[in-house]
Structure 1
Amino acid sequence: MGVREVREQRHRLARQEAARLGTEGVHTVALTWVDTAGVTRVKVVPTGRLAHAVRHGVGMSPVFDVYTSDDTIAAVPELGLGSPDGDLRLVPDLDRLTTLAAQPGWAWAPVDRYDQQGAQHPGCARLFARRMVERAKERGLQARMGFETEWLALRPGEPPTPVTSAPAYGMTRVVELSDYLRDIVEALTAEHLEVLQIHPEYTAGQFELSTASADPLRAADELVLVRETVRAVTGRHALRASFAPTVFAGQVGNGCHLHLSLRHDGEDLFRGGGGRDGLTGTAEAFLAGVLDALPALMAIGAPSPASYLRLVPSHWAGAFQCWGVENREAALRLVPGPPDEAGSANAEVKCFDAAANPYLVVGAVIAAGLHGVDAGLKLPDPVQGDPASTAPDTPRLPRSLTEAADRFAQYEPLRGALGEWAHGAVLAVRRAEAEQFADADPEQIASAIRWRY
């Protein structure tokens, strides 16, 4: 089927979907993408314009590739980044079109970004994730990924206050907020997301929600949907949700841990291998590539000045460049899983947070892992216990956004995978935000970032 035929087919499907949404009382569709700073941006179309959006796209400036979290433009004229010129077309992915359970009358779809001639925009993070998934498939590898979402539920005010001070992980917190948590699960279930668990976390008013693993692109889409659904339900309970890496200075912040596994022609590469802890050689090389790239990946997965207030040793944040078996203090944690539960073995990247663009995260992690496979990398010895005391020579991950940006700039495998436009945009936004907060104290950083995510 040619390009024109595919376009016509999708146009017909969009008209059918728009008619279906209309019968359900849905009149508006939110079309979202996530910018380089990790902020979810949107254009909204009436349901009757959905088919037009699928065929022709919705206009949007490419300048958002260099928006910072406070909407400042970090221009890079030599790459053409930040110019007022040009236009892109936002094309919704109908495969992910979802009626929003917590926003009556609304639907949602993520978009891919193209230029006006139909070519892929080099700064589109979602298309980057798709390319990396395809690159893995060319090697016969299928990645599965899933995210843990953490947030604080807060009563509005200045300053805001946690909705509960009940104990960490405590049933008291669930009892006090049972209606709220039930409504979140019901909304996500209505949106056809599989919730694995939801529970109180460490900080007062903090919760965590995990969804089932999926194809990496779908996992990134689902993270956006989970976050905005939680935000909507929270608002309906007259509360506010913050997913910021650090909501209050000096307190444990919000992570957004990435879980990943790997298969080859359906075979689980994280179990039954002849390598260490049951890993196959390919799985070990993939994880070794991720571990090797972690200092550079921090500019992708921990992209805010507030991220580095969270990355404190001995706080289960993953502040050291090491791996360990079921070690929650290691940045890369191997989870062997129960031996009688097929597909449960995975690895968890603990040092990432919700300021990250999830499409950049999944794409960059795949790129790093494939580099490890191509280079035949090996994992070092695992670390047991808290590396701050048991392995004091273990290198720290970057302690600041400036350091992370410098490591990112030097790491060629990510530059090659992203391309000059996207790589330059990430570097420009990170350095702009690092400079903006260079003289700020922790509380100033936390309060400035609190409601951006």
Structure 2
Amino acid sequence: MGKQEDFVLRSLEERDVRFVRLWFTDVLGFLKSVAVAPAELEGAFDEGIGFDGSAIEGFARVSESDMLALPDPSTFQLLPWRDNGTTATARMFCDIVMPDGSPSYADPRHVLKRTLSKAAEKGFTFYTHPEIEFYLMKDQPKVGVMPVPVDSSGYFDHTTQAEGADFRREAITYLEQMGISVEYSHHEGGPGQQEIDLRYADALSTADNIMTFRNVIREVALSQGVWATFMPKPFTEHPGSGMHTHVSLFEGDNNAFYEAGAEYQLSKTGRQFIAGILRHAPEISVVTNQWVNSYKRMLIGGEAPSYVCWGHNNRSAMVRVPMYKPNKGQSTRVEIRSLDAACNPYLAYAVILAAGMKGIEEGYELPPEAEDDVWALSDQERHSLGIDPLPRSLADAIDIAERSELLAETLGEHVFDFFLRNKRAEWAEYRREVTSFERDRMLPVL
């Protein structure tokens, strides 16, 4: 048993931990959890905890259902909202393995680790820094009842309404107690809408942190009598919730995106990475924007991108190169603005990295940047500039994804097949639904 496992076992005794929650994520990005007693943990490190994989979305068929959750001791943290001063509860993320010890083909965490390993073979480490948006509602959602935001404030507002500020303070306290560093927090543009930005970290740690973040946000909301949602577009008239993510590649201690004296200080590697993201954007959209509601957020006129293009400090572009800060070459990065706050972060970061690496490996040329407000251009003007639309709906995204070799290779055959099958079923169910829009418009006149 290694040093990290020994540290965990000592911590269990020192902090009087009574339960350890083992976390993992299904293919759609929902958090799963099993609690074990501390006495069982040493065995779990050696052999894993067995479970029925066929009961988890996308994991296995009944005939091959036996799987093991193997705790990752580097992710050990106490859950601050479960610490009563005398006893504590902890959590660890797990890798899912088969009975023979081989990685599970269905584990999203493994999909990302496999993609990171391919980049590491080329000498690259992938770092990510997400800006996560969400709404706070006054009550738990009820079918047929319009949710009410906790306030009517706007972007960066500092108000006397305490709900948002108090909420963010408690949530950030919990996150930092769990080793998750927060860079900024503020009120976003919609009423009740919040944004909390996590400090950059390697992509696997970031994905783990996002899953923890969602859990913390929901726990704090419930404790304060409100409801938090990461739904991409909960209101017709208010902005959607995105997860703009700044990304960079490092070669050792050097930022591979930085080149002194180049335009925007952006290296050839950085330009090829952006070119890869742009070329493959339509086919990876089904992962970065995986819900039928995701495409309501991406309609023209909001902060979300609708077209495949890049620009320097252009917030209407899908990919933005932020302003260079003198003497801070290591901070050179690329912001991808299409992701929403409800994606599976393991799969989303895997496909983004794969697309960017494809651009580097194949030497893609970066198209001209979009200097104008892309939303303000006509369709003809966008066409003449070579700016194509992102998928308009989940159905469009599925059709494009089905033909994607990059997506199939990155996700693996099992995840690729299950994911698209599930998305097709979601779209079919959505198409059958008669909406309030139809009833309100047509019942009075038809």
Common fold: TM-score over 0.5: yes
**Matched residue SS, 1:416:** helix
Further displaced range: 283-292 or 435-444: 435-444
Aligned AA (1:60)? F
Gaps of 5+ in 2: 438-446
2:395 is the counterpart of 1:402: yes
Establish whether residue 87 from structure 1 lines up as the match of residue 66 from structure 2.
yes
Structure-2 residue corresponding to 1:378: 365
Q: Does the C-alpha gap of structure 1 residues 443 and 262 become closer, same or farther in structure 2, counting only changes over 3 Å?
A: farther
Mean CA deviation greater in 48-57 or 313-322: 48-57
The yes-or-no answer on 1:35 pairing with 2:29 is: no
Partner of 1:129: 112
Q: 1:168: how far off?
A: 3.0
**Aligned to 1:392, which of 357, 360, 382?**
382
Q: CA deviation at 1:191?
A: 1.1
Aligned-partner Cα distance in 2 for 1:281–1:312: 32
Unpaired runs of at least 5, structure 1: 1-8, 68-79, 445-453
- Which secondary structure state, in structure 1, belongs to the residue aligned with residue 432 of structure 2? coil
Q: Residues 299-338 of structure 1: matches in 2 within 5 Å?
A: 299-338=286-325
Contact 1:15 1:51 in 2 (8 A): no
* Correspondence 1:20-419 to 2 at 5 A: 20-63=11-54, 66=57, 82-83=61-62, 85-104=64-83, 105-157=88-140, 158=142, 159=145, 160-172=147-159, 175=162, 177-272=164-259, 276-390=263-377, 391-393=381-383, 394-419=387-412
Residue in 1 aligned with 2:425?
432
Alpha-carbon distance in structure 1 between the residues aligned to 2:299 and 2:101: 45
Q: For 1:410, what is the secondary structure of its paired residue?
A: coil
> SS of 1:27's equivalent?
strand
Asked if 2 retains the 8 angstrom alpha-carbon contact of 1:148 and 1:258, the reply is yes
- 1:25 Cα deviation after fit: 3.7
C-alpha displacement of 1:85: 4.3
Larger radius of gyration: 2
For 2:352 and 2:125, how far apart are their aligned partners in 1?
A: 13
Deviations 1:174-224 (A, max 9, x none): 755432221112111111211100000011111011111111111111111
CA distance in 2 between counterparts of 1:179 and 1:436 reads 39
Structure 1 residues 273 and 380, CA gap change in structure 2 (3 angstroms): farther
Letter in 2 for 1:131: R
**What is the rounded CA distance, in whole Å, between the counterparts of 1:204 and 1:186 in structure 2?**
23
Hey, what's the Cα distance between the residues in 1 that align with 2:253 and 2:368?
A: 28
Distance in 2 (CA, whole Å) between partners of 1:139 and 1:173 is 52
SS for the counterpart of 2:113 is helix
- Decide whether aligned partners of structure 1 residues 170 and 133 sit closer, same or farther in structure 2, where only a CA change above 3 A counts: same
- The 3 A distance-change label for structure 1 pair 57 and 173 is farther
Summarize the Cα distance change of 1:357–1:196 in structure 2 as closer, same or farther, 3 Å threshold: same
Higher relative contact order (CA 8 A, sep 6+): 1
Partner of 1:3: none
Residue 268 of structure 1 deviates from its aligned partner by 1.8
Asked whether the equivalents of residues 39 and 355 of structure 1 are also in contact (C-alpha less than 8 Å), the reply is no
Q: Deviations over 1:211-264 (max 9, x none)?
A: 111111111111111121121111111111111112234432211222101122
Matched with 1:76 is none
Gap change, CA 1:363 and 1:201, over 3 Å in 2: same
Distance 2:98 2:176 in 1: 35
Q: Which residue matches 1:77? A: none
Give distance in 1, aligned partners of 2:275 and 2:307: 15
Distance 1:130 1:331, change over 3 A: same
Aligned residues: 423
AA in 1 matched with 2:241: N
- CA change 1:65–1:317 in 2 (3 A) is farther
Q: Write the distance in 2 (CA, Å) between the matches of 1:442 and 1:293.
A: 33
Tell me how far 1:66 sits from its aligned partner.
4.0
Taking the aligned partners of 2:257 and 2:425, their CA distance within structure 1 comes to 39
> How much does 1:81 deviate?
5.3
Q: CA deviation at 1:112?
A: 0.7
Change (3 A) 1:397 1:24: same
TM-score (norm 1): 0.87
Contact 1:272 1:279 survives alignment (8 Å) = yes
Counterpart-to-counterpart distance in 2, 1:95 and 1:22: 18
Equivalent residue, structure 1, for 2:440: none
RMSD of aligned C-alpha atoms? 2.2
Q: Secondary structure at the match of 1:161?
A: coil
Tell me the percent identity: 26
CA displacement 1:44-102 (0-9 Å, x = unmatched):
222332222222212233336645xxxxxxxxxxxx95446421111111101111122
Is contact 1:316–1:330 with CA below 8 Å preserved after alignment? no
Q: Which amino acid aligns with 1:147?
A: P
TM-score, scaled to structure 2: 0.89
SS at match of 1:257: strand
Cα offset, 1:106, TM superposition: 2.1
Q: What is the SS of the residue equivalent to 2:221?
A: helix
Describe the SS at the equivalent of 1:171: coil
1:82 and 1:66, CA in 2 relative to 1: closer, same or farther beyond 3 A?
A: farther
Given residue 170 of structure 1, which amino acid in structure 2 is its aligned partner?
A: D
Preserved CA contact (<8 Å) 2:132 2:196: yes
* Counterpart contact for 1:415–1:423, Cα < 8 Å: yes
How far residue 337 of structure 1 moved from its aligned partner, in angstroms, is 3.5
Find the aligned partners of 1:307 and 1:289 in 2 and give their Cα distance.
22
Range 149-158 or range 124-133, more displaced = 149-158
Aligned mates of 1:416, 1:273 — CA distance in 2: 35
Contact 1:65/1:123 (CA < 8 Å) preserved in 2? Answer: no
Given residue 274 of structure 2, which amino acid in structure 1 is its aligned partner? L
